Chain A
């Protein structure tokens, strides 16, 4: 569908308005794929809360204006209404920022979207620190812990926009609800195209290795991949990288296999180290009684400072340099 070149914002400087935001980056892929799917699935509708442009749904709106429901800035009402729409037979894809989807509308998601038995898909954008310059009100580092604790909820964190395309295609046939956590679409891609095997609940092995396994999700996947390549090239250290795109249901088998075969595991996520990917992996290890060296990279249970995402990834050690450092430290012991 797309090549990586579309992603790069050229060096001539960045002039844009909110109206052109969705045309700048690879992020538009989400909206494009959903629009394509909607052509053959008349039950797909979109719900938003005054963030249609920011959540990359303009193409959908241009193509299917009658299938877009903008609720204004009222995420709670939107979430419950989407649940009602699903109960009546539609297939709503609801988009807002992750911080609002998971916390402002938390109970509506739990009680209406999930418990009522709907197939509402929540596509949460601007998650993690992807809008780091926006400050703590817009930092979304608790959503995985929240969503993961809802029985019956599927929780997915695509590594990049190519994988997002795969996720959206898979979700069209997914009967229950799901929470998909996206960034702003400015992330460096971990995959080269959207043509690869993808299955909800099945981790993708990005790189083989036996010294240690990095289990990552979201932007952590690209960082881990880069780190693994550097470590191999510079130091001859071979580490495995797993793209654990589905946080729930977690691919327990991949975790067990990594534990058995590499004895060392580092998790990487753009989330509080409490409750997210690292916790999910730790639960499996503890329950399986597997003894491994283990470390969680993520936000160390703190509110984050303001800053550009790539700077913050460095500050909190979840970029490739941080991952390399953590791998080296673990291998020293």
Chain B
């Protein structure tokens, strides 16, 4: 089903950005030696839609107090995240050539002091949702109308502090807090089910008194539709979106495996990955 406000051209644009950024990520991985490919690919479509259509942020004024807040709690997705920020104009894309380099602004995890547009320095899992609770509480207290978005990984659900934060979000009635779970069912060591079974996730979240929704996290139409129909920030129930995703989405041999959680690409593999990605998008290497 297509969102009424979304034309075919819009879908095609958003898909084009997602394809382009995945492609750039592969090229960057080759250049810098290694990157978190799997988790960046699983959240890429969500980030593209969020930034291009929903977040009220200004690349010219990244610390505008009237902005929406976005916290990437799964900080290891920094490489994908920074590509999106560059795409939005927060900084020149060529700066990303410095990724991981000594003295760089860009490390494996994002740093709010160094990267324009980053609202929280994350990387230690289980912190981002608590920070977001704080942001949302303060926005409420200061009577600011903007929203707080937080993207967490499903592996991060193993952290006890994440559930402390879920408790607090509902207790404080933070309707201005919107959490998206990048539910790719994989962790660094293998499947989430084998590493630490988290099911039933939906029931857990519902029992924490959150409004739970589920989407295919790679379906642009579904992402747009769910974000368009979020409750108003003045509501009293926080929302969590379980976005079913695929780790490594876009390159078949990187999908659903922990092997490409973090990795480097030699020339041959890079070429192969680019070709397979193009094929996935029906672009034939263009």
Which A residues are closer than 8 A to B by beta carbons? 45, 66-67, 69, 71-72, 74, 76-77, 79-90, 107-108, 111-112, 115-117
Contacts and interface: CB of A to CB of B under 8 A. Distances in A.
Contact of B130 (A69, A76, A87, A117): A76
A83 B130 CA distance: 9
A67 B137 CA distance: 11
A71 B132 CA distance: 14
Interface of B: 65, 69, 112-113, 119-121, 124, 126-127, 130-139, 141-142, 144, 160-161, 164-165, 167-168, 171-172
A81 B142 contact: no
Nearest to B166: A77
B130 A88 contact: no
Given A74-B164, A74-B168, A77-B165, A112 B138 contact: no
Contacts of B165: 77, 80-81
A111 B121 contact: yes
Contacts of B130: 76-77, 79-81, 84, 108, 112
Contacts of A66: 141
A107 B121 contact: no
Given A76-B126, A77-B165, 6 more contacts: A71-B168, A81-B133, A81-B134, A85-B137, A87-B131, A116-B112
Contacts of B168: 71-72, 74, 77, 81
Contact of A90 (B69, B120, B132, B142): B142
B124 A88 contact: no
A179 to B, nearest CB: 18
Contacts of A115: 121
Contact of B119 (A69, A74, A87): A87
A22 to B, nearest CB: 24
Contact of A82 (B69, B134, B160, B172): B134
Nearest to A118: B134
24 contacts: A69-B172, A71-B168, A74-B168, A77-B165, A79-B130, A80-B165, A81-B131, A81-B134, A81-B165, A84-B120, A84-B137, A85-B137, A85-B141, A87-B119, A87-B135, A88-B142, A89-B138, A90-B138, A107-B127, A112-B127, A116-B120, A116-B121, A116-B131, A117-B112
Nearest to A107: B124
B164 A88 contact: no
A85 B267 CA distance: 46
A76 B241 CA distance: 24
A259 to B, nearest CB: 38
A69 to B, nearest CB: 6
Q: Name the residue in B113, B168, B171 with the highest tally of chain A Cβ atoms < 10 Å from its Cβ.
A: B168
